[in-house]
Structure 1
Amino acid sequence: MTISEGLSYLEIVSVGPFWRVRMTISEGLSYLEIAQVLCLKHPLCLCLGLVAQTEAKIRPRRRWSDIARTCARWRSETWTSPLLFCLRHARLAAAIAVSSSRKDFFVALCFRAQGLFVALCCASLSSSPIAQVMLPWLAFGHLIPFFKLSIALAKAGVRVSFISTPKNIQRLPKLPSTLNHLLDLVQFPLPSLYKEHLPEGAEATVDIPFEKIQYLKLAYDQLQPAVKQFVVNQLPDWIICDFSPHWMKEISQEFQVKLMFFNILSAPSATFFGPGTRKTPISPESLTAPPEWVTFPSSVAFKRHEAIPFCAGANQINASGISDWERVATVLISSEAVLFRSCYEIEGEYIDAFQKLVGKPVIPIGLLPVEMPERDGGIVDECNGNIFEWLDKQASKSVVFVGFGTECNLSKDQVFEIAYGLEKSQLPFLWALRKPSWASTDQDSLPVGFHGRTSDRGIVYMGWIPQQEILAHPSIGGSLFHAGWGTTIEALQFGHSLVVLPFNIDQPLIARFLVEKGLAIEVKRNEDGSFTGNDIATSLRQAMVLEESKKLRINTREAAAIVGNLKLHQDHYIAAFVQFLKDGIWKQI
């Protein structure tokens, strides 16, 4: 590796398992030779190797970043001989040795002996696990899947650094203590903006109204320097990122760390949207039918009233200066592979279609189902104790759970029609309702007299509830929800009858897919997207009690055997993914 005249020293700095080394090179040295030396695979070893000159050249006064790129490039090579012939003589050389799996690297001085340059090397290489960085977007529909994947990988022996902001890290589920040595929760403060743009303490989409999310993206983009320095220090094997950090392309290329895109959408949704490389703005008309690359029968498409707001958001150049469409395209194109929270048993044909579309490995990592904790007093106390007591008194599979997440902003008409539908259905229900922004008090959130008319068979709980524990309760038999992918997986894990009422982003596409698979009933809506209480009641009774939907209830029970199979998802899908992380070769399951 040739360095121009005038470079007086080389400083290589790293942290963690690496060494800090400074080598002073005499003034006037015209070149520095970097050796490619194979280390014997023992915990501590001494290896004699002859210095080989690389063909790479670096610019004057470029130090660590250039060496790091060279190390990263070498890490994927497998060297089969500890002796490499010297191609060129020099008075002094430095050797950087990289193992075939790049678990560690080191620097050693090379000295002249009998006209050859001999490298004396020492390293510890035997037991370091694969290291990777997780970088999700600041929304809990993204943070939670990334966190679940981090836990699954840590259980498989992979070292994970999960990056987010302090407040979001605090709001994550508790990390199992047995994984503390493998899963590091890395906190970077979110850069502040003007308070009128981003309120103090807002670190996730749940903290702000929809119109301010563009400023959250602007602040998120300003995390780039901190993330870059972290990558410089750690040099992970892989970076797994979300759609939002489009700037990870530059970081991964500069330091030759492989990038992977974890697409938290369902495989049918991602296949519908395509590779994201189109240059012209998308139109509502283009989204109301399956695209041409879906060559099998499919009903996954938007209705016009859904396509119009989606296009407005996707095409918008927001305060961050880049549209979501461009973010997705940049990350997707620069990634070595694409991950889906999916499995072939549920979404196989869409996974295959997306792989043909993008021409790179598309890896289903399993559905990451939850391992249910035992109910304890802490959980009961947090929801005032009466919810589980009430559920315990209900008949098996009789109760409808109603919930639309923390970020679905329902209008007054929508909330009231849902309430009228629950009342008319005559079914037991548990409704987790966040106080709407238009309501001044909890009482204003529901129609007058609703509580009194339904108190004998239903509960409306305002605030946070332990959703996973509630969905797992044996009295819950159905779910009325927005068709978000995470909640879909949770509901299917326990064999619930699904009634879907989608509102935004890819929820309508997931709803169509679930209906297509015979796993859900979608609430009927008018052309403008409105619906009535009668529509809600009809769908609920059809899913829960009517004989005509007996096949749907059978289908969801069969799906539960797949979705809830922890061994399938951890020992099969995660294990195959870990093997890909090790050797970089995807063997389709």
Structure 2
Amino acid sequence: MALDGTHQQVEAILSSNKPDMVFFDFGNWVPTLARQLGIKSVYYAVVSTMAHSIIKKVTKEMAVEDVLELPPGYPCPTVKFKACEADAVYFLAESFGDGLTFGERITTSIEQSDALAFRTYREIEGPFCEYLAQKHHGKSIFLTGPCLPETKTQQLEDKWVDWLSKFEPKSVVFCSFGSQSILQKDEFQELLNGFELSGLPFLVALTPPQGCTTVEEASPEGFEERVRGRGLVYGGWVPQQLLLKYPSIGCFVNHCGYGTMWEFLLCDCQIVLIPENADQMLNTRLMANELKVAVEVERGENKQISKEDLSRAIKLVMDKDSEIARVLKSNRAKLKETLAKGDLQEQYINNFIQGLQNLVIK
């Protein structure tokens, strides 16, 4: 792992600058180095407390049922991996650097650090924060809040406004998986077919699939003609936060990445989730199973999403007469009211700073 090759440079920087503390993530050797120099170390995670709560020792030889078994005291049994997602847990047993597995690198980093820090609110992940504190013998856990960028002074470009303004309020389905998500061509086409099948207007922002340079060449045959006027597929970056606030956007289909999760909790759209990676799967279960603010698209036995299942999920949440849609909207509105309080993020930052100051003088 390239990070491990920076050990000497990091040691030189810490020795010469003598900071009070150092933040790190996968550099499991940083806490020992920092301790030798009289410096506090803080493990700062970019994924959820759920993902860290479920981490345990895993070997490639373990049976699937043992791999999927939740650790003792785990607080939310509905936030877990499905049987077909065992590979996501087996990844903890993969080699990840000098004689360490991925899981060992994370657990060593956590156990050796002086404190843990997460980009979350207790209002959403409180049970997992408490569980981690107990699991790691009262180790300090600091929360920064999601720290989303401000968009108050930004405006949506005319090209998006011109297209979206043609539709009724809350009628358009918006889909974005982020620039790091690159689908196979057949997966890409199945998604587009699902949006077409829904019968609703849609804006899809996806990176061209593997083997294709544009979304146009990757689209199903005849697709553009069939959806002309109500469907738009874009292969570049889009201003996601601004689009989510536009009046005609009524549903957001996404992968439930951690940053995206916080963005949609503060919008007024119905949410449909298609997780791809391990942490996204747990984020999705929290949103759909525990907090009940979203629905997850079911995958078939081949682990793929079908156009029928995607269309069904979209129509379910967009049906104004659906009891499920009403419950989702109500639950999300209650959460948004809590999370959108003007000074909540500032309170978390102030508490975070105070926690760091207390750590230094221990």
TM-score of the pair, normalised by structure 2: 0.90
Q: Whose helix fraction is larger, Structure 1's or Structure 2's?
A: 2
What residue is the counterpart of 2:299 in the other structure? 525
Pick one of 94, 97, 121 that aligns with 1:316.
94
Q: For residue 278 of structure 2, give the secondary structure of its aligned residue in structure 1.
A: coil
List per-residue Cα deviations over 1:514-542 (Å, max 9, x = no partner).
Answer: 11211110101123312210100110111
What residue is the counterpart of 1:460 in the other structure? 233
Pick one of 104, 111, 131 that aligns with 1:333.
111
Change over 3 Å in CA distance of 1:283–1:472 after alignment to 2: farther
Distance 1:490 1:476 in 2: 14
Larger mean CA deviation between 489-498 and 558-567 belongs to: 558-567
- Where in structure 1 are there 5+ consecutive unaligned residues? 1-217
8 A Cα contact 1:367 1:563, kept in partner: no
Q: For residue 356 of structure 2, give the secondary structure of its aligned residue in structure 1.
A: helix
What residue is the counterpart of 1:426 in the other structure? 199
8 A Cα contact 2:96 2:105, kept in partner: no
Structure number with greater Rg is 1
Larger mean CA deviation between 337-346 and 416-425 belongs to: 337-346
What residue is the counterpart of 2:329 in the other structure? 553
Q: For residue 413 of structure 1, give the secondary structure of its aligned residue in structure 2.
A: helix
- Shift in Å, 1:353: 1.5
Q: For residue 584 of structure 1, give the secondary structure of its aligned residue in structure 2.
A: helix
Distance 1:553 1:370 in 2: 24
Distance 1:389 1:545 in 2: 26
What residue is the counterpart of 2:3 in the other structure? 220
Q: For residue 477 of structure 1, give the secondary structure of its aligned residue in structure 2.
A: strand
What residue is the counterpart of 2:355 in the other structure? 580
Q: For residue 181 of structure 2, give the secondary structure of its aligned residue in structure 1.
A: coil
8 A Cα contact 1:290 1:300, kept in partner: no
TM-score of the pair, normalised by structure 1: 0.57
Mapping of residues 484-563 of structure 1, within 5 Å? 484-515=257-288, 516-546=290-320, 547-548=322-323, 549-563=325-339
Distance 2:262 2:92 in 1: 26
List per-residue Cα deviations over 1:344-397 (Å, max 9, x = no partner).
Answer: 212222221221111211222222233214235xx73xxxx4223222333333
Letter in 2 for 1:564: A
Pick one of 145, 166, 174 that aligns with 1:366.
145
- Where in structure 2 are there 5+ consecutive unaligned residues? none
8 A Cα contact 1:419 1:446, kept in partner: yes
What residue is the counterpart of 1:201 in the other structure? none
Pick one of 240, 258, 264 that aligns with 2:23.
240
- Shift in Å, 1:441: 4.2
- Shift in Å, 1:335: 1.0
- Shift in Å, 1:319: 6.1
8 A Cα contact 2:59 2:93, kept in partner: no
Q: Percent identity over the alignment?
A: 29
- Shift in Å, 1:223: 2.5
Q: For residue 22 of structure 2, give the secondary structure of its aligned residue in structure 1.
A: strand
Distance 1:410 1:364 in 2: 33
8 A Cα contact 2:215 2:233, kept in partner: no
Distance 1:423 1:316 in 2: 39
Change over 3 Å in CA distance of 1:396–1:287 after alignment to 2: farther
8 A Cα contact 1:369 1:564, kept in partner: no
- Shift in Å, 1:480: 0.7
Distance 2:214 2:59 in 1: 45
Distance 1:388 1:223 in 2: 47
Distance 1:374 1:346 in 2: 27
Pick one of 56, 73, 84 that aligns with 1:293.
73
Letter in 2 for 1:519: V
Runs ≥4 residues deviating over 4 A: 279-283, 318-321
Asked which structure has the greater RCO (Cα within 8 Å, sep 6+), the reply is 2
Q: Does 1:272 align with 2:272?
A: no
Q: Does 1:402 align with 2:175?
A: yes
8 A Cα contact 2:253 2:272, kept in partner: yes
Distance 1:544 1:324 in 2: 40
8 A Cα contact 1:310 1:504, kept in partner: no
8 A Cα contact 1:496 1:556, kept in partner: no
8 A Cα contact 1:259 1:335, kept in partner: yes
8 A Cα contact 1:289 1:302, kept in partner: no
What residue is the counterpart of 1:164 in the other structure? none
